[in-house]
A and B are shown apart, each in its own frame.
Chain A
């Protein structure tokens, strides 16, 4: 079991690092491309020629590919954090014993769907890799890009099975708290800002 838990820990870490880096990279990329577009338009001697020699026409395409990869692996991470929400009005009304098979069915259906998509995607990538298809701007082989589908979807399938396994064993589901960032403390007390403006304590019943 320890080999498996080590594998899981490495996988978790890789997944988190990958999606956070993809997110940051895409943001920086578009930022640089926009700044470049405007700075290159200014007549700064020397700098302008150099800037004009750079091309960022591929930035949009790369941004899309980065986000597609982020989305496929992020969706797998989302299964682990329980962010994929469903319609739970009906399920919540069932007794706990009846809830269990329904929830397990949902999780296994998720595994089934992502499994099918992974297989279809792999088949698709295999076909594309035998063609000379390249992307329009970056001119990278298209199958590199499409590889996100089988890889991401397999991982997602694994996550669904993992969550189903743990739910079956412990009866616990991952739960996502909307709007919260894990590990960051919310300033719950009266912040300095509100008090600073009105040094006198708020008067009660001003009328």
Chain B
């Protein structure tokens, strides 16, 4: 009963268009004031202690690092490197775009940031090289989604906050699915380009490739610093995020010199703005899940679903449908923070691995970012490509279809996510 009231209230408030964080907070306050006698002091303490956790602090650091990388010329050199490697194949710059997105995703934790970083350079370049605008927009919008699957990933940090899963193991579990999805998107690009006879780049010589690699090596090293550092235990994920922020600042300002020192305060402010928004949602989502737990909602939901004779296969199908529907109206961080605490206990009862479940959620979020009405990648890409959302929706479908097939594979073949972290000894 209380579950119905809580979700009804939350849904009603959210549909008025108020910020999701405010809707979550007001739901909790209304319910606590009118229906329970939970001391208000406990709520006030939760408001603070909700984010009093060092793991969460990886988020502002990754956002800051991402902003330095986006505006500091790292993306530009990665594109040049990628196009020198595979630009002469069918699809040329498009394939290079997929590879550049995958490389940039390995240093950045956000999908829209990847779309901005790669798309703002590559989309105009592709149009200039003679590709139909739709093709470029479709490639970058969907490949940008790799940002949250290939580690580091802000969405994975959020999942681990909600479920206490290990961030390090999640990051490692994202490597193989990330490479696989990049390959599949690349194949789709190649096939479309080959059929459409789109332009290719002239083949680069090995000397040119070497030069492009030397140019981009500063950005590429960050992959080793973050992943190697976390895996070898030199850093915790949060420390790795802070190190990559400082490293990205140094290469943007002193090595590549694409960012002036006087631009740094603006980058700091923009990063603080984005981080504070996410931390504010987290605070209120923690409050919300405190309410859920005190009303025993996840447990009763788990019992109800299990009582209905739901097996793992049907449950995972249900989860995918639910997350895809939620992806229609909400952005990923809110979905993960609200739904992970509810779905997670059921998944545990059914014997689904917490890391595998996390990867399923992340891939769902990726799909959600690429289709209307609220796909954030679509909006970012439409801003860059100066293309309407409707046209862009048509443009992304071949890649979106590929992503849905991939989602099916990841959902029902746990080994894709788990084999690599298991081999590293991070998952049992």
Contacts and interface: CB of A to CB of B under 8 A. Distances in A.
B is a partner of A: yes
Contact of B15 (A64, A87, A146, A149): A87
Given A63-B57, A64-B57, A197-B212, A184 B201 contact: no
Contacts of B274: 83
B52 A64 contact: yes
A165 to B, nearest CB: 17
Nearest to A20: B268
Interface string A21-58: 01110111011011000100000000000000000000
Nearest to A184: B71
Main secondary structure of the interface of A (DSSP, over half): helix
Nearest to A205: B197
A120 B57 contact: no
16 contacts: A26-B57, A38-B234, A71-B275, A74-B272, A74-B279, A78-B280, A87-B329, A91-B16, A110-B19, A182-B270, A184-B71, A190-B128, A193-B80, A202-B201, A203-B202, A205-B197
B128 A67 contact: no
B60 A70 contact: yes
Contacts of A96: none
Contact of B272 (A23, A28, A68): A23
B275 A74 contact: yes
A83 B54 contact: no
Given A23-B60, A30-B242, A78-B277, A106 B235 contact: no
Given A89-B328, A106-B16, 11 more contacts: A26-B60, A30-B243, A71-B275, A109-B18, A179-B70, A179-B116, A180-B116, A181-B266, A187-B120, A198-B202, A205-B130
A182 B274 CA distance: 12
Interface stretch (B20-28, B157-165, B303-311, B418-426): B20-28
Nearest to A123: B44
Interface of B: 13-23, 25-26, 29, 40-41, 43-45, 47-48, 51-54, 57, 60-61, 64, 67, 70-71, 76-77, 79-80, 83-84, 87, 92-93, 112-113, 115-116, 120-121, 124-125, 128-130, 197-202, 204, 208, 211-212, 215, 234-235, 238-239, 242-243, 245-246, 263, 265-277, 279-280, 283, 328-331, 373-374, 376, 379-380, 383
A105 interface: yes
A206 B199 contact: yes
Interface string A191-207: 10110111010111111
Contacts of A187: 76, 120-121
Nearest to B26: A113
B17 A86 contact: yes
A124 interface: yes
A113 B26 CA distance: 6
Given A178-B376, A196-B80, A207 B269 contact: no
Nearest to B87: A198
B199 A84 contact: no
A27 B79 contact: no
Nearest to A176: B273
Nearest to B260: A184
A189 B61 contact: no
A112 interface: yes
B74 to A, nearest CB: 11
Nearest to A189: B124
Given A187-B120, A190-B125, A204 B130 contact: yes
A144 to B, nearest CB: 12
B17 A91 contact: yes
B373 A84 contact: no
Contacts of B212: 193, 197
Given A78-B276, A202-B201, A194 B120 contact: no
Contacts of B380: 178-179
A188 B120 contact: yes
B29 A116 contact: yes
Contacts of B19: 84-86, 106, 110
Contacts of B383: 177
Given A27-B245, A179-B380, A78 B120 contact: no
Of all A-B residue pairs in the complex, the 6 with the closest CB atoms, nearest first, are A74-B276, A106-B18, A84-B19, A193-B80, A30-B242, A179-B116
Contacts of B124: 188-190
